[in-house]
Amino acid sequence: MNITGRLLILAQAKTDAEALEMMQLSLADWAACGIAGAEDRAFDGFRATVTGQAGTGTATVFGGGRIPPAGAALINGTLSHALDYDDTHFAHIGHPSVAVVPAVLALAEERDIPFAEMCEAALTGVEASILVGQWLGRGHYQTGFHQTATAGAFGATLGAARLLELTPDQTRMALGLCASMASGLKSQFGTMAKPLNAGLAARTGIEAALWAAAGVTAASDGLAGPLGFGPTHHGSADETALPDAGSPARQILQISHKFHACCHGLHAMLEAVSKMNVTAEHVDRIMISTHPRWMTVCNQQNPETGLAVKFSYPHTAAMALAGISTANIARYTDETACDPQLVALRERVTVQEDDTLSEMQARILVMNNDGSEVSGFHDLAAPVSLAERRSRLMRKAVALIGARRADTLWSAVDTGDFRAFVQVIGD
C-alpha cells in the first residue's frame, strides 16, 4: 500500500487516546505561541492586508477579528510560527501543528463542530503530515524544500477532509489538488516568509478540501503517482521508513516540544546543561559535541544580535551556565548578545561534530578551574511523561502570554470549551 492509500485509511481511522492527549498538549502550545506571535508588530501589515482582502467571516484570528476560514488559516498559521517556538518532529523534519491546527480550527469554528471532533481532525492531520514528511525523506529537505510547508499542506488537507467528512473519493481528490499547491522553500529561513510557509500550507488544506467537496477533480494519485508531488520534488518514496499500515496513528508521540526559545538543534545541549551542577565563575573550558548537521545551522561563534544568539551553541551555553533562562524569549536581545560576561564565557566554548550522535543528542564536558570535570548528555528522543510535558508547557505558556491568559487557555483545552478557546486566541 502506497502513501496515498495509507492517508485514505488514516482519514477514517479511530484516534488513539494517548495520541489525542498529546494533540491537546500541542494545541495549547500552538495557541500560546500564536498569541505571543501576534504581538510581533512586524506582521501587522501582513495581518491587516489579509484581513482587508478576506472580508468578514466566522473564523477567529490571533489578535482579534473574524474572517473567512482560508484567510484565518493563513494568518494563524503564519503568526503561530512567527517565533519559531512551536512543536517539531525530527523524523518529519518539520513543525506539524502550525500547518494543520489553523486549518481544522477555522473550519470547525465556521461549522460549529464540537471541540473534541476538531481535536481528532487535528490529530489526523498531524499524523498525516508526519507520515508524508517521512515518506518524502531527507533528500526532499536537503534539496531545499521546507517540509513544514510541503508535508504540512497534505496534513492540513487530510485534517480538513476528516473534519468535513469527505468520502474516500473526495479525500483522494483533495490530496490531488493539494499536490498542485503544496510549496515552501528553505531559502526563506531567516525571513518573514518562513512562518508564511506554514500559513500558506494551512490555507491550502482548507481550499483543497472545500474544492474537492464542491466536485473539483484532480489526479487520482497526485502525491505518489507518475509525475506526482513526490517524484517531482525529490521525494525518496521510502515506504520502509513508515510504520506498519495497520498500526494505530501514534507518530505524534515522538513530537518534541520546544522548551528553549532558540533553534531546536541547541535544545539537547541546553537540556544536558540544565542537569549539571556547574557554577559559571569556576568554568575554565567547555566542550560541546553535536551531530554534524547542526554545525552549519546553529553554531554561530560570535553572535551580535538577539536573533543570532538563537543560533549559537557558544552563547546559549554561556547563558545557561550563567543562570539566564533560555526558555524566556525576552532574554534573546542585542544586549544579551553583547553582554561582556557572556562573551567572555562563550569564548571558552569549543563545539565539535560527532557523527556517532543522533540529531537529537548532545554531549557536554565542562572543565573547571580546579581541574575537576563535569559531563552531561541528553537525548531529546528520551521518553517524557505526558504529566511532565504538560507541566513544562504550562510554564512556557505563562512565560509567553502571562498567567491569566495561560490559565484561561489551558482551562479551555481541558474542558473542551470551544468558545473560551477562540476567545483567548482572539484577545
Q: Please, what are the domains in the chain?
A: 3-256+386-426 (1.10.4100.10), 264-379 (3.30.1330.120)
What's the pLDDT score for residue 141? Answer: 92
DSSP for 15-68 reads PPHHHHHHHHHHHHHHHHHHHHHTT-GGGHHHHHHHHHHH-S-SEE-TTS-EE-
375, containing H or E segment: strand 373-379
Closest CA to 329 of 343, 342, 346, 310: 310
Report field, pTM of the whole predicted structure over 0.85: yes
- Per-residue cell: 300: 554561530
From edge to edge, which strands make up the β-sheet containing 361-368?
349-353, 283-290, 361-368, 373-379
Rounded CA separation 259/281 (Å)? 25
| 55 CB-near residues (< 8 Å, 6+ apart) | 67, 68
Question: According to the model, what pLDDT value does residue 241 have?
Answer: 75
Mean pLDDT (10-residue bins), the chain, 427 residues: 93 94 98 95 94 94 96 98 93 94 98 97 97 94 95 98 98 98 92 95 98 98 96 89 76 94 94 92 95 91 91 96 92 95 96 96 96 95 93 95 97 97 95
**Residue pLDDT, tens place only, 114-139:** 999 999 999 999 999 999 999 999 89
Residue 267 is predicted with a pLDDT of 96
The CA distance from 177 to 83, in Å, is 30
pLDDT in the model for residue 245: 66
pLDDT digits (tens, 9 = 90+) for 381-419: 998 999 999 999 999 999 999 999 999 999 999 999 999
Q: How far apart are CA 374 and CA 81, in angstroms?
A: 36
pLDDT score at 18? 95
